[in-house]
Structure 1
Amino acid sequence: MEKLQAALEKARSKRNGMSPPERAKAPKPTASKPGGTDALWADLKPFDVDEKQLQRNRIVTREASSKAAPFDILRTKVLLQMRQNGWKRLAITSPMPRSGKTTTACNLALGLGRQSDLRSILMDLDLRDPSIHKFFDKTPEKGIGDVLSSKVSFADQAMRFQENVAVSMAKTSDADPTRLLLAEETAEVISQVEAQYQPDLMIFDLPSVLVNDDTRAFLKNVDCALIVARANKTRYSQFDTCEREIAEHTNVLGVVLNAFMSSGTD
């Protein structure tokens, strides 16, 4: 545990050489591809999702509607608060599984996609039990783990929903993802993707905090975290422990009290 904590502190201190506002204002490296950032986004493989598939998984934000309104409110609050603090990297997690964190992450990403002046990136880092590819019914040729380990580039692995939402999904589960989530190389890959694609927001769907050490290993790489708790299911003691542990590694942006989800989803 002491070695893990030491590694976390080392990686966090390295990333925190500048405060979030300073990082937001720092010059962005120029994308290496001719045509710049627009060309990089245009070259991502596009995908679409059947509306019935979205409805089955309670993804309701592709179009504005009364069902989308709660997530639209969340989108606006998250965006405004993150802009105010100069933050761009948002983790979404929960105390325990089956709280609706992945549903929240996907709805937030597609809701942001309706803002044509914004670009967002959604990454599935719940590597032991990935589900974003199931929500969208799309299996990538290579998994996000290959991106984090630099085996393939983000450009060759990620897919683009509409014009302005990039999604990096897992292909299969990983029995030992902490080796990736804690690695310095992963932090460097995330920073490179951010520098090249210049998203307004990066969303990381992380595992539930209290089931393993994966989320603790990765939180050093984000500016803030959103906690999703399920009404009448999440115990206060679980939420309290989760909030305290997240606060040790990053900023707690807020809490979503969720009371609806499809059976078997997270």
Structure 2
Amino acid sequence: MAMEKLQAALDKARKTRTTAAHPPRTAANSRAVSGQTRGQDDLWQALEPFTVNPRHLETHRVVTHAASEAAAPFDILRTKVLLQMRQNGWKRLAITSPMPQSGKTTTACNLALGLGRQRDLRAMLFDLDLRDPSVHEFFETTPQHGIDALLTGQVDFAQQGLRIGDNVAVSMSRGPVADPTRLLLDEQTAEALDRIEAEYAPDLMIFDLPSVLVNDDTRAFLKNVDCALIVIRADATHYSQFNTCEREIGEQTNVLGVVLNAYRYGANSKSA
């Protein structure tokens, strides 16, 4: 019965989703278009590089570092996300869930690395789950400066961001941040992200946000994105949780879609 309710809710979300209610942000977009274009290659190459450990990533179900059968579902998600965001002129994607342990960070990391295999694209991943950050654990890398230092203007992206390959930049935390709601709501945070977008001109900015129903952090930040992807877990997410989450996100930004995780679709199937 729970799965039937979730499926009905997903169908309803697909039918009722609109883009007119939340037009793309214009200030950052216009700056990115009219801003400096020369030297962007140098800016990206100047970011400190690091390598990922495929075996460690796979323990966290991050499998898109190379093309494979396991990566195929995330590659399909990547293509759908790209096409829909390009059609609407969007660049900023939030990834969240109703409750924790739904797979949102796994989805964010898989999407970022999958985009990295598209050599003509540049993607950025920001870990904004500031009470319980984990992207640095997935990648086994801790930055010299935390993302809070970036958002408060203590350092710029050239000092804080790290690079995977040639075209994926990652902004991570060093650990939990005090009073994250204030930081995510602060206009200084919006200005910092606008500067990064204007200077580096990424094709896609991915924000791994906290679960919507556990605190106010995601609500505080959604004004800064063009759309959001909701990750739900088939064996844990209740219909009422998804319904509340989808409604609250839809009040502030566009719901790009829903990822149904851990759905057992056959007797011998495994969780996603």
Per-residue CA deviation, residues 57-89 of structure 1 (Å, 9 max, x unaligned), is: 111001000000000000000000000000000
How big is the shift at 1:28?
3.2
State whether structure 2 residue 132 is matched by structure 1 residue 129: yes
Query: How far has the Cα of 1:30 moved from its partner?
Result: 1.3
Q: For 1:91-240, what aligned pairs fall within 5 Å after superposition? A: 91-240=94-243
Which whole-Å CA distance do the structure 2 matches of 1:93 and 1:22 have between them?
Answer: 24
What stretches of structure 2 of length at least 5 have no aligned partner?
Answer: 1-21, 264-272
Q: 1:71 to 1:177 in 2, by over 3 A?
A: same
CA distance in 1 between counterparts of 2:23 and 2:213 reads 28
How many pairs are equivalent? 240
SS of 1:192 mapped into structure 2: helix
Contact between 2:97 and 2:210, CA under 8 Å: does it hold in 1?
yes
Paired position in structure 1 for 2:34: 28
Whole-Å Cα distance in 2 between the matches of residues 54 and 134 of structure 1? 9
**CA–CA distance in structure 2, aligned partners of residues 136 and 232 of structure 1:** 27
Q: Determine the C-alpha separation between the residues in 2 that align with 1:244 and 1:95.
A: 11
One-letter amino acid of the counterpart of residue 29, structure 1: G
The structural deviation recorded for 1:174 is 1.4
Secondary structure at the aligned position of 1:103 is classed as: helix
| Residue identity opposite 2:107 in structure 1 | T
Deviation at residue 213 of structure 1 after TM alignment: 0.1
* SS across alignment from 2:34: coil
List structure 1 runs of 4+ shifted beyond 4 angstroms: 21-26
SS state at 1:185 partner: helix
Q: By how many angstroms is 1:173 displaced?
A: 0.2
AA partner of residue 133 (structure 1): H
Aligned to 2:84: 81
- 2:212–2:218 Cα contact (<8 Å) kept: yes
Q: CA deviation at 1:21?
A: 8.0
Q: Superposition RMSD on alpha carbons, in Å? A: 1.5
TM-score by length of 2: 0.85
In the TM superposition, what whole-angstrom CA distance separates every residue of 1:145-169 from its partner, at most 9, and x where no partner exists?
0000000111100100000000000
Deviations 1:91-111 (A, max 9, x none): 000000000000000000000
Q: TM-score, normalised by structure 1?
A: 0.87
Q: CA deviation at 1:22?
A: 5.5
Partners in 2 of 1:247 and 1:37 — Cα distance? 34
Question: How high is the sequence identity, in percent, across the aligned residues?
Answer: 68
CA distance in 2, matches of 1:238, 1:28: 42
Letter in 2 for 1:43: A
Match of 2:16 in 1: none
Partner Cα separation in structure 1 for residue 211 and residue 26 of structure 2:
30
Q: Distance in 2 between the 1:259 and 1:244 partners? A: 23
